Amino acid sequence: MKRFFCIALLTILSACTALPIPGLGAAAGGIVPVPLSDARILFDIQAFAGQPITRAKFTDTWQREEYALFRGAKARAEIVYIAATARETSLDATVSLKSMIGKWNFNASSNIAWGEEFKALATFGKVFVLPYRHRDNSCIGFSSEWATARDDPEVRPTKMIFGYYCEATGTPLTAGRVEKLVDAIEVSRFAGGGTTSVPISGRIDRSGGGIGNPGFPFLLAQGYLSEGRSFVDRNY
């Protein structure tokens, strides 16, 4: 599929040039394991201390998407980090927190009791948080966008993170506890740390074992026309 951009080259050439739509091309290697040296997502809380982290990633010309599954004896979290990695490319996502939470395979099989959405702060900036109850779990869903593309006419971000955290407890998560949980989520080139990474090789959109998300990879990167301003590649 092609998107047609009309480009005027000085006053001499005027034509429509066909450019590929980011995210709709063939996957460059598909979904592959993530070695610790290339991991980005870190969730440093006691519930996951010493536990292996299951990771997978997808990359193509325009974006990098990383999936991470954290599991402890009574807690679990699934997180996706997406970054636009090409010039004149940003992320186009307009999904509500409720919709995002419900699409995870872990959350899709039962009724959810929703709390009230609020904002918190993490190392990468403002995070939207939505508490909810799921089976016998107290949970939060969260999402954040940052690093706005400087000359994107639609002022879209180049980085985003979203996911959920659940723990088996009979009491709701307090506001103070939620703040600490959100603050413990990081995105870094050095997220591997001292953890163990268990690879997923293949698709993670199936519901086997109650993990994964049928939307992965989400392919949110969209190209835009800048006005002559130079961009460096964002290989973060």
Report whether 184 contacts 193 (CB < 8 A).
no
Tally Cβ neighbours within 10 Å of residue 78. 24
Max mean pLDDT range (21-25, 84-88, 105-109, 139-143): 139-143
Looking at the 3D structure of the chain, how many domains does it have? 1
Q: Is residue 16 part of a domain?
A: no
User: Which of 39-53, 59-73, 94-108, 180-194 has the least mean pLDDT?
Assistant: 180-194
pLDDT over 90 (residue 229): no
pLDDT over 50 (residue 215): yes
Q: Is residue 122 part of a domain?
A: yes
Work out the pLDDT band at 31, boundaries 50, 70, 90. Answer: confident
What does the mean pLDDT of the chain come to?
A: 79
- Higher-confidence residue of 127 and 124: namely 127
In sequence order, which residues have a C-beta less than 8 Å from that of residue 208 and are 6 or more positions away?
none
Q: Is residue 167 part of a domain?
A: yes
Q: Structure pTM?
A: 0.81
CATH assignment of the domain containing 156: 3.40.1000
State both tokens at 162.
Answer: 């979203």
pLDDT value for 201: 47
Share of the chain above pLDDT 90, in %: 47
User: Which of 7-16, 83-92, 107-116, 194-203 has the least mean pLDDT?
Assistant: 7-16
pLDDT value for 205: 62
Domain span at residue 43? Answer: 30-223
Q: Is residue 94 part of a domain?
A: yes
Q: Is residue 93 part of a domain?
A: yes
pLDDT over 80 (residue 115): yes
CA proximity to 213, closest of 147, 141, 124: 141
Beta strand segments in 35-98, E: 41-43, 53-59, 63-71, 75-84, 89-91
CA proximity to 143, closest of 191, 187, 97: 97
Q: Is residue 43 part of a domain?
A: yes
pLDDT over 50 (residue 81): yes
User: Which of 36-40, 63-67, 175-179, 224-228 has the least mean pLDDT?
Assistant: 224-228
- Alpha-carbon distance of 100 to 43, in angstroms, equals 19
Tally Cβ neighbours within 10 Å of residue 204. 22
pLDDT value for 93: 85
Q: Is residue 8 part of a domain?
A: no
- Higher-confidence residue of 173 and 29: namely 173
pLDDT over 80 (residue 151): yes
Peptide bond into 214 cis (omega under 30): no
pLDDT value for 192: 64
pLDDT value for 196: 56
